A and B are shown apart, each in its own frame.
Chain A
Amino acid sequence: MQPIPPSTPGSRTRPGLTLEFNDQIVRQFVLATVVWGIVGMLVGVLVASQLNFWQLNFQTAWLTFGRLRPLHTNAVIFAFVGNMMFAGVYYSTQRLVKARLASDFLSSLHFWGWQAIIVAAAVTLPLGLTRGKEYAELIWPINIAVALIWVVFGVNFFWTLARRREPSLYVAIWFYIATIITVAMLYIVNHLSLPTSFTHSYPVFGGVQDALVQWWYGHNAVAFFLTTPILGIMYYFIPKAAERPVYSYRLSVIHFWSLVFVYIWAGPHHLLNTSLPGWLQTLGMTFSLMLWAPSWGGMLNGLLTLRGAWHKLRTDPVLKFMAAAVTFYGMATFEGPLLSIKSVNALAHYTDWIIGHVHAGALGWNGFMAAGMIYWLLPRLWNKPLHSVPLANLHFWLGTVGILLYVSAMWTSGITQGVMLNATTDNGTVLAYPNFLDTLNTIRPLMLMRVIGGGLYLLGFVLLAYNVWQTVRGAQPVNGTIEVFADDERPDAEHLGLVASVLNPPVVFSVLAVGFSCAWMFGREALSIIGLVGLLFCVAVAIAHFQSKGKAWAGWYERLLVNTAPFTILTFFAVVAGGLIQIIPTVLADHTANSEDRLQTPYTPLELAGRDLYVREGCFTCHSQMIRTLVPDVLRYGDYSRLGESIYDHPFQWGSKRNGPDLARVGIKYPNVWHLRHMEDPRSISVGSNMPPYPWLLANNLDAGILPAKVAVQRVLGVPYPNWTPAQIATRVNEQAKGISADLRAAGAYVAPEKEIIALIAYLQQLGRVGNPTPPATLAATPAPKG
């Protein structure tokens, strides 16, 4: 590859001035991408190995799977892909709008602020400081920093757009706009918390509400952090690298708007067959299926842009990586809707299949787009040819083989374990594999294959790092320049006012269609029928109107593209609709009336402390607390979970993966001493288990001093605790702890009442006790309603 000279100003002869882009910030983000990519993947290989070799937890609190798995996901999503996204957005935006980034200060603040956040995350997560919600684990002071730095990013970006010399917004910019506003919305809502101390807080939502908000966020973090910005990057770098025009502008329009609108609704597919209300599950599943075509629209526009350039794939590692990345994107976005079908989900959910699915996206789509982009940028940012193209090609093949090994191992593993867990004998009356460990130990070779696949992928990425190092070393950084002219300034003639932004055929028909759909789905009797008829009528009129006045639609859209603010507002409307319609009814509903007669009893203070230990150790990374409405789940774990049973859980702990069995009703199964021995040395009880030992829980004293503050916050959040004084709380803690300690002593094992393990046992032993005729005696004085 040869360095490309700065863009030529064409044959114009007018006097202009040379504009220098801020490519320094792009270089910084590129290098950060490489560093954090290696860190994130290295932790990934470690946690994958821990699942097979429990010894790799090193009996050390901060090295256990439960604490490192969130570090892996956060590092890969927010550090690796985050930095990559910022590099790509900043590089392409400056060129697409013909303007230098608005503020060098904001750019620098963005970079250093983001790196500081990553370092803070890398320190706090292993220390066990966590909010207990997936991809939203960071503690509240870091949350505030993330929100502020995201605003810095947004201001810097929109300010640059405001100073653009290119009147019209290219499709990549549409995706960046959607990314910035949607991530801000999702992040803020899902991180609303009430602090109990500087390092701990409880989310304001609880139980099913928390579950819904969490997966509205979690699913759309995938959509608007890992997908839309990368699609924007694809729309810039693939045509540049292939030197081919984008395949279809109208496909860009249709798939952009359908993608950002439909994505938001699909979050509940992470909660299929749980106690989430049925209508939300139906919405989640059907909208996930409707997401298939919009996602593939992006894949088509990426792959078909390569038409006429396929021969370049043989020689150019950039195009190799990008073509493979878009293919993996297509694969993952076909698999997503498939996994959202309730019956497929019944098999696949909680298994390795989901892990395989996300890694097809993360390794294939995100990782390969990052690699392609970096290989393309290096010669241009450092004015020096790439150190070694053969090494980049080797990276490509190592990566590809790595992904295929990883993904096929996880598919096989997930389906095998799912089938075994669901298998029954004796005319379907008894589980074929009642011992969970039988299913775990069957998939161990596949878990090993996953480590090998992931290791190969990491090795390939290390080659990239070496290539970057050799290219950058001793090279002269160079900033891109462009000639600009006075008449490049934007004309104001096409200004689109508020009325014209809203009152135009595409927006009016869309709003009517959504309104009628909602009337049909949520209205009663007459309203519902009006909704359905109105929807069909609206669609028919829209089609007729488009056929005769299609040019007016297209003309309006062209005008919209030269108006940033109306474009941004309409994008916000598109993404906010799904969330409002799903979340508001769930938050407003009288959840105590909706609890199916299984209203949770608030935890005793000791149990609450134990629950926070459960969250601290990341138990939710391997154990669900949600028995689904499926016969095999009920046969294995007991009666299916009801909404009311976790209604006071801040945060909810339904979980998303079963590396171990479900714990929703474990409290009524084993004696205290079982749990003690199991936490101390899991294999002394469960032969063949891969769970790490937790000896520090037996050594550490419980910090009970924080409990009054925690109970006070729980009261504010609506958990019906009496107004206990700190002394009353201390008395309750002591009484219950002494009881458990005495019981352990009677069983031949002595642990002092003030140890952490006592609190954890107290918590585990009440799981599933809701509705039990004999609640723990210590709760008798609690005036909480009994289910």
Chain B
Amino acid sequence: MPTMPPNAPVPPPPSSEDSLRPHVFDGIQEYDKRLPNWWLYTLYITIVFWVGYWGYFEWFGIGLNGPQKVEQGMAKIEAARLASVTTIDDASLWKMSQNPVFVEAGKVVFNSNCIACHLASMRGKGESPAAIGSDLTDTTWLNGGRPTEVYNTITKGILLKGMPTWGPVLGAKKITEVCAYVMSKHQEGEPIIPADVPPK
């Protein structure tokens, strides 16, 4: 590295640094001061970093690239999701729909993600024909009205009928809560009327 040994003949002695260069441009003169060491070392360190970083990621290929890293990260998440699966059945979802903590939490999730289509009243097309989502408070169901069926509809979505897939976005816990909120508008044992044709 070009750090000067203390007894090196170059660079010129400090006195010459303070002398001005002979040339004058429109009255502008120039000193020829030594480059500050900290500035030089900043430059050298970034150059050495380039060599090291390229070596680590591109030459030896030790570091993971973007796709490898994201695949690894998603695999870990998938594993954690699988590990946290608990059985969801109609009975437990009905129980949650009567639990005010669950229902309140579900309402928050519903209001920030679902009311665009189903409206805040949850009545969707039942309230306004311009709404995109169906009425969730009546006893007519497009995709099944049992709590587990509602849960699956939210999780997987029904793309053909315009229901987005919420599973990867909201996660199991929030979907359970929002399902509880929807079912809180219903009674166990009330009729479930299937609607095969979407209402015009």
Interface residues in chain A, defined as those with a beta carbon under 8 Å from any beta carbon in chain B: 7, 92, 95-96, 98, 166, 168, 170-171, 236, 239-240, 245-252, 254, 258, 273, 278-279, 281-282, 285-287, 289-290, 292-294, 296-297, 300, 304, 337, 425-431, 434-435, 437-438, 520-521, 528, 543, 546-547, 550, 628-631, 634-636, 638, 640, 668-671, 673-674, 677, 684-687, 746-749
Q: With A273-B66, A430-B174 given, is the CB distance from A293 to B112 under 8 Å?
A: no
Q: Determine the residue in chain A with the shortest Cβ distance to B70.
A: A629
Residues on the A chain within 8 Å of B116, using CB: 684-687
Give residues 37-58 of B contacting A (CB, 8 Å): 39-40, 42-43, 46-47, 49-50, 53-54, 57-58
Residues on the A chain within 8 Å of B62, using CB: none
Of B10, B70, B161, B174, the most chain A CB neighbours within 10 A belong to B70
The complex places the Cα of A45 from the Cα of B49 at a distance, in Å, of 41
A-B pairs with beta carbons under 8 Å apart, 8 shown? A258-B43, A273-B66, A278-B65, A550-B11, A630-B70, A631-B73, A631-B74, A635-B168
Interface contact B25-A96, CB-CB below 8 Å: yes
Interface contact A245-B30, CB-CB below 8 Å: yes
- Tell yes or no: B164 within 8 A of A by CB: yes
Report the contact-size class of chain B (Cβ under 8 Å from the partner): 35 or more
Partner of A245, one of B4, B11, B28, B171: B28
Q: Determine the residue in chain A with the shortest Cβ distance to B83.
A: A427
The complex places the Cα of A250 from the Cα of B32 at a distance, in Å, of 6
Contacts beyond the supplied A92-B26, A521-B59, A543-B2: 7 A-B pairs with Cβ under 8 Å: A236-B26, A246-B28, A249-B31, A285-B53, A547-B4, A547-B8, A746-B200
Expressed in whole angstroms, the minimum distance between the Cβ of A45 and any Cβ of chain B is 31
Interface residues in chain B, defined as those with a beta carbon under 8 Å from any beta carbon in chain A: 1-2, 4, 8, 10-11, 20-21, 23, 25-36, 39-40, 42-43, 46-47, 49-50, 53-54, 57-59, 65-67, 69-70, 73-74, 76-77, 80-81, 84, 112-113, 115-117, 125, 129-130, 132, 159, 161-162, 164-165, 168-174, 198, 200
Expressed in whole angstroms, the minimum distance between the Cβ of B5 and any Cβ of chain A is 9
Expressed in whole angstroms, the minimum distance between the Cβ of A423 and any Cβ of chain B is 13
Expressed in whole angstroms, the minimum distance between the Cβ of A655 and any Cβ of chain B is 18
Expressed in whole angstroms, the minimum distance between the Cβ of B25 and any Cβ of chain A is 4
Residues on the B chain within 8 Å of A292, using CB: 42, 46
The complex places the Cα of A686 from the Cα of B164 at a distance, in Å, of 14
The complex places the Cα of A171 from the Cα of B162 at a distance, in Å, of 64
Interface contact A674-B162, CB-CB below 8 Å: yes
Q: State the 6 A-B residue pairs at the shortest beta-carbon distance, nearest first.
A: A430-B171, A629-B66, A671-B162, A293-B43, A286-B50, A245-B29
Interface contact B77-A429, CB-CB below 8 Å: yes
Interface contact B159-A248, CB-CB below 8 Å: no
- A-side interface mostly: helix
Expressed in whole angstroms, the minimum distance between the Cβ of B147 and any Cβ of chain A is 21
Interface contact B113-A435, CB-CB below 8 Å: yes
Residues on the A chain within 8 Å of B30, using CB: 171, 245-246, 248-249, 252
Q: With A286-B54, A426-B171, A668-B159 given, is the CB distance from A170 to B28 under 8 Å?
A: yes
The complex places the Cα of A246 from the Cα of B116 at a distance, in Å, of 63
Q: With A634-B74, A640-B67, A748-B129 given, is the CB distance from A279 to B28 under 8 Å?
A: no
Residues on the B chain within 8 Å of A636, using CB: 169
Expressed in whole angstroms, the minimum distance between the Cβ of B116 and any Cβ of chain A is 5
Interface contact A640-B28, CB-CB below 8 Å: no
The complex places the Cα of A431 from the Cα of B73 at a distance, in Å, of 14
Q: Determine the residue in chain B with the shortest Cβ distance to A642.
A: B67
Residues on the B chain within 8 Å of A550, using CB: 10-11
